Amino acid sequence: MKFVDAHIHLSDADYVGRVEEVLAKAEQSGVVALVSNSMDLKTCMGSLELAEHHVGIVYAALGVHPWTVKDMGEDEPRQVLELMSRQKGNKAFVAVGEIGLDSKYTAAWDKQVSVFGSMLRLAEKLNLPVVIHSRDTTAQVMDALPSYRLRKVLLHWFSGPVGTLAKVVERGYCITEGPAVAYSDGVREVVRNVPLTSLLTETDGPVRFFKGKTTTPAFIPSVIGAIAEIKGVSDEDVAEQVLRNFQEFFDVKLTAEK
């Protein structure tokens, strides 16, 4: 079986000095591709470097995360936008992400909204998919998205409300789920109600899920297994559909040799 990790922060400081090991273990686990999502200028540059060094395995999503907005100077979001614009046509740059809104940081809400809007406008201009963080802000994000002509939308680690899934699917959006599907009743309910054609797998590494272990793409087979158990289908069927979804969403062709 072939697996994919649609959302990891491979340029995060927690992976420094460990990337080769992480990728080797991912390959041993059957993971054939992953998307390194970014949070600020430094991680954008890191994701690009990793994608260009590991062609066809690591892909880069570039953007400003809502968590980092509050601590950024006024100039950094502009620098990220300029970097992204310069990468137009770079096949390693497959999406704008991780971008979005987070209700936890209300003190920087206006700045979050402004930066999110600027990222969506550039994604529209570059004709790239967007990878969105929407913790407790699904309603606000869903209200904002129709104002932009976006190629594709991925709601990362979608945790609900389940009632919104019908609109998500109707609009042609996708969602990702990760290791939490093994233990979170809420995430399991989401998976139960979303069609496999709208679902991708992720780890969101380096988030620590199990006994303090840093998450890596090697966790993906267990995510596939949990989804298969919930859906009542085989691991192979889930893995094949998720692989197709990944290629279609990010517009990449994964070679048969992998």
User: What are the pLDDT digits (tens) for 160-173?
Assistant: 899 999 999 999 99
Q: Buried b vs exposed e over 37-59: b needs ≥16 C-beta within 10 Å?
A: bbbbbebbbbbbebbeebebbbb
Residue 74: its pLDDT value, please?
84
Residue 139: band (very low, low, confident or very high) from pLDDT cuts 50, 70, 90: very high
Is the pLDDT at 250 greater than 60? The verdict is: yes
Contacts of 211 (CB under 8 A, 6+ apart): none
- Crossing angle between the packed helical segments 76-86 and 109-126, to the nearest 10 degrees: 10
* pLDDT value, residue 210: 62
Q: What is the pLDDT of residue 255?
A: 67
pLDDT band of residue 258 (cuts 50, 70, 90) is very low
Q: Above 70 in pLDDT, residue 18?
A: yes
Q: What pLDDT, on a 0 to 100 scale, did the predictor assign at position 213?
A: 78
Number of CB atoms found within 10 A of residue 181's CB? 21
Q: What's the rounded mean pLDDT across residues 77-85? A: 97
Domain regions of the chain by residue span? 3-250
Show Cβ contacts of residue 113 under 8 Å, excluding neighbours closer than 6 positions.
Answer: 101
Per-chain mean pLDDT for the chain? 94
pLDDT at 257 over 50: no
Give pLDDT tens digits for 34-62: 999 999 999 999 999 999 999 999 999 99
Domain made up of 3-250: CATH architecture: Alpha-Beta Barrel (3.20)
Among the listed residues 30, 56, 26, 34, the one whose alpha carbon sits nearest the alpha carbon of residue 236: 30
CA-atom Rg of the chain in angstroms: 17
Work out the percent of the chain whose per-residue pLDDT is above 90.
Answer: 89
SS (H, E, C) the chain: CCEEEEEECCCCHHHCCCHHHHHHHHHHCCEEEEEEECCCHHHHHHHHHHHHHCCCCEEEEECCCHHHHCCCCCCHHHHHHHHHHHCCCCCCEEEEEEEECCHHHHHHHHHHHHHHHHHHHHHHHHCCCEEEECCCCHHHHHHHHHHCCCCCEEECCCCCCHHHHHHHHHCCCEEEECHHHHCCHHHHHHHHHCCHHHEEECCCCCCECCCCCECCHHHHHHHHHHHHHHHCCCHHHHHHHHHHHHHHHHCCCCCCCC
Burial of 231 (0-12, 13-18, 19+ CB in 10 A): middle
